[in-house]
Structure 1
Amino acid sequence: MKIIVPMAGRGSRLRPHTLTVPKPLVPVAGMPIVHRLVRDIAGILNQPIEEVAFVIGDPAFFGPDVEESLTELATSLGAKGTIYRQDKPLGTGHAIMCAEPSLEGPAVIAYADTLIRASFTLDPEADSVIWTKKVANPEAYGVVKLNSDDHIVELVEKPETFVSDQAVIGIYYFKNVGELKAELQYVLENQIINGGEYQINDGIKRMMSQGKIFKTGTVDHWMDCGNKTITVETNAKMLNFLYEEGAELVASDVSLENAEIIPPCSIASGVVLKDTTVGPHVSIGADTTIESSNVKNSIIQSETTIKNATLEEAMIGNKVHFNGQFKAISLGDYSELK
């Protein structure tokens, strides 16, 4: 089994946190988004992962440190890590085709901007499985249309009339991803463009027209990381899941001096808490110091110093120095408020 991860976008909706760090590497609940997504997919598949192929963007932004992080992620799963580049933002179909040499055999394609919780077995009769989540407002999403056999027969974007309540979340399984590659090659060669880009849906629709069987795999939870507010919400949800599962979330060398941690919180190695209350739902990166503060429902990254602060629904980047009485803030890397 292979996992293909298109992740060349800049994550503009999550700025300033993505000005220096690619969005899929922004940590949520103590782990970069793409690391947690790939690990969770591997767990659901419950079979050996042969290769994890990442499609990243401009080398000036997705540099050697990004490549190293992604390769280490693949290696930790016992898989080969392969890096491809998408030089121009030409759509989801184009991004997948940038990984063309890896598009053979069974594979999962997953876009690295969401997190999931799921437990299901891939249907061996299906040529493809499109992972979905039941939603209350399907008109806001791309949804699947099912026939009487519960096979997917159509993909409908933001339907004005009810089609189904199963929203497409951006994760797909193909028994032979080479079949998708052939159809996307046709899409590119014939310049089949929707919304100004080459779309994965056009390749999927061509497969459907040839009688390929598509089924749904329904996830229990689908969590977005699109902007600051939603990312902080996702951090809280993921911390709850991990805490309930008994995960070790607080490093053994965290220094506490007249400080309290209210779980669930993810606190990395080297963190110092002094005259401070942290939690619930706080993630803190390595070597960060927080003094004389009260922090809850927030994400604070590595090597940052926080003093005299009351923070809630805050998101603070790496190497930040913050001293003040602000509350719901969003500070990118290297910011200083004194």
Structure 2
Amino acid sequence: MKAIIPVAGTGTKLRPHSYTQPKALIPLANKTVLSIIIDQLKDAGVDEFIFIIGYLGDKIYHYIKDKHSDIIAHFVGQEDRRGVGHAVSLTKDVVKGDEILITLGDTICEYDVSEVLRSPGSLIGVRKVDNPKDFGVAEIDTNGIIESVIEKPNIPKSNMAMVGVYKIAETNMLFDCLEKNIAAGLLSHGEFSITDAIKCMIDNGVTFRSFKVDNWFDAGNKETLLRSNATLLKKIGLEADAAQYQNTVIIPPVSIGKGCSIENSIIGPNVTLGEYTSLNQSIVKNSIVGAYCNLYDIVLEDSLIGSDTSLKGESRSLNIGDNTSIDLG
């Protein structure tokens, strides 16, 4: 079993952060989005990974080599970003006919990974949503068999969204369908989608069973990232000892990276602080702050602050990228 994780996207909805940092490396709870996915799969016994990289791919490469040196890691470049289907098609020579688990690099799902890996045949993770027009949608019969799939339909016939986790047993058929769709120029919303390849497989007699995920955390934009951070912090139950910080109140749940200096501040709830960040005379709640930041005399709420950022003065809800210095006084 090999895991494929596409992380080549430019992350336009997370700009300005994604100008300098891949969205898979944005901090979330006490890890990064990518580390949460990798650790989840490693715990289930997966030790071989294929990362599809493109924009800022060197940062993904060095992060994996530094933080996850215990895995077998392959890196496949996607210079021309033409969708997830196109990205997966580039991995054919590395997959070599083995079964694969595809999981998108900006989405965290909670499910029984070991059970999915043990299950015979091909499976797709699904979850009921209120806005199925925004997702790939699966029509499922009473036995859990997927009858049809469609990418972002104008008139959905189902509210069961595909969450971005696919276990594929018939990989040769998958690559045949991907190559056929690309050769024919079959685009959905301007991209070669994995959904169209799965439809091709179903049309050719492959059976896909559905499995429901317990939770689905999206790191695609600021608002969903902050909600996901809050949910994961509560679930993990992280706590920090305020006694080690001078004249500071900590309202859990929070995650404070190593080497942080905090004085005369109130932190929490639902806050992630990156490593070696400094806070003084500040209040931060429901926010994610990157590493090596310096915050002084500021109130932050519902904010996403990039690494190596300096902020001073006033109260704001901010979305600031890396390497920024702002004086709001």
Check if 1:106 corresponds to 2:103. Answer: no
Structure 2 CA distance for partners of 1:186 and 1:71, relative to 1, 3 Å:
farther
CA contact (8 A) 2:7 2:53 kept: yes
Which amino acid is the alignment partner of residue 119 of structure 1? D
* Residue pair 2:239, 2:252 contacting (<8 A) in 1 also: no
1:81 aligns with 2:107: no
Give, in angstroms, the shift of residue 229 of structure 1.
Answer: 1.8
CA contact (8 A) 1:12 1:18 kept: yes
Query: For residues 157-236 of structure 1, what are the structure 2 equivalents within 5 Å?
Result: 157-159=151-153, 163-236=157-230
Q: How does 1:15-164 map to 2 (within 5 A)?
A: 15-43=15-43, 46=44, 48-58=45-55, 61-63=56-58, 65-76=59-70, 79-103=71-95, 104-119=97-112, 121-122=115-116, 126-159=120-153, 163-164=157-158
User: What CA RMSD, in Å, does the superposition of the two structures yield over aligned residues?
Assistant: 2.2
Which AA in structure 1 matches 2:182? L
Deviations 1:112-139 (A, max 9, x none): 1112222362286652111111223434
**What SS does structure 1 have at the residue aligned with 2:316?**
coil
Q: Deviations over 1:181-226 (max 9, x none)?
A: 2221222233333333322122211211122110112111111112
Mapped to 2, the partners of 1:204 and 1:85 lie a distance apart of 23
Q: Distance in 2 between matches of 1:163 and 1:51?
A: 37
Q: Tell me the amino acid that sits aligned with residue 68 of structure 1.
A: H
Instruction: Give the equivalent residue in structure 2 for 1:272.
Output: 261
Equivalents in 2 of 1:7, 1:207: separation in Å?
A: 24
- SS where residue 64 of structure 2 aligns? helix
Q: Per-residue deviation at 1:258?
A: 0.7
The answer (yes or no) to whether the contact 2:124–2:211 under 8 Å persists in 1 is: yes
How far off is 1:175 after superposition?
2.0
Change (3 A) 1:335 1:257: same
**Residue in 1 aligned with 2:324?**
335
CA contact (8 A) 1:288 1:302 kept: yes
CA distance in 2, matches of 1:186, 1:269: 50
Residue 66 of structure 1 and its aligned partner are, at CA, apart by: 2.6
Contact 2:9 2:81 in 1 (8 A): yes
Letter in 2 for 1:31: K
Give TM-score, length-normalised by structure 1. Answer: 0.89
Once the two structures are TM-superposed, the CA of residue 261 in structure 1 deviates from its matched residue by 1.4
Rate the CA distance shift 1:194–1:330 in 2: closer, same or farther, 3 A.
closer
Q: Structure 1: which 5+ runs fail to align?
A: none
Code of the aligned partner of 1:34:
L
Question: Over residues 77-135 of structure 1, what are the superposed CA-to-partner deviations in whole Å (9 max), with x where a residue is unaligned?
Answer: xx301111001011211100122222231211111111222236228665211111122
**Which letter does structure 1 place at the counterpart of 2:51?**
F
Per-residue deviation, 1:16 = 0.9
Instruction: Write the distance in 1 (CA, Å) between the matches of 2:77 and 2:161.
Output: 29
Q: Name the CA shift for 1:119/1:209 in 2 (closer, same or farther; >3 Å).
A: same
Which residues of structure 2 form unaligned runs of 5+?
none
Residues paired across the two proteins, number: 325
Say if 1:41 and 1:219 are closer, same or farther in 2 by CA, change over 3 A.
farther
Change in 2 beyond 3 A, CA 1:123/1:5: closer
Query: Contact (CA 8 Å) 1:40, 1:116: kept in 2 or not?
Result: no
> Aligned partner of 1:198: which letter?
F
Q: Is the 8 A contact 2:151 2:188 kept in 1?
A: no
Query: Given that residues 29 and 235 in structure 1 are in contact (C-alpha distance below 8 angstroms), is that contact kept between their aligned partners in structure 2?
Result: yes
Is the partner of 2:18 in helix, strand or coil?
coil
Question: Larger deviation: 9-18 or 147-156?
Answer: 147-156
Corresponding letter in the other structure for 1:113: D
Aligned to 2:2: 2
For residue 13 of structure 1, what is the aligned residue in structure 2? 13
Alpha-carbon distance between aligned partners in 2 of 1:66 and 1:138, rounded to the nearest angstrom: 31
Q: Deviations over 1:135-185 (max 9, x none)?
A: 234344322112343210101334455633311111101124333122212
What is the 5 A alignment of 1:290-301? 290-301=279-290
Per the alignment, do residues 289 and 307 of structure 1 end up closer, same or farther by CA in structure 2, a change over 3 Å counting? same
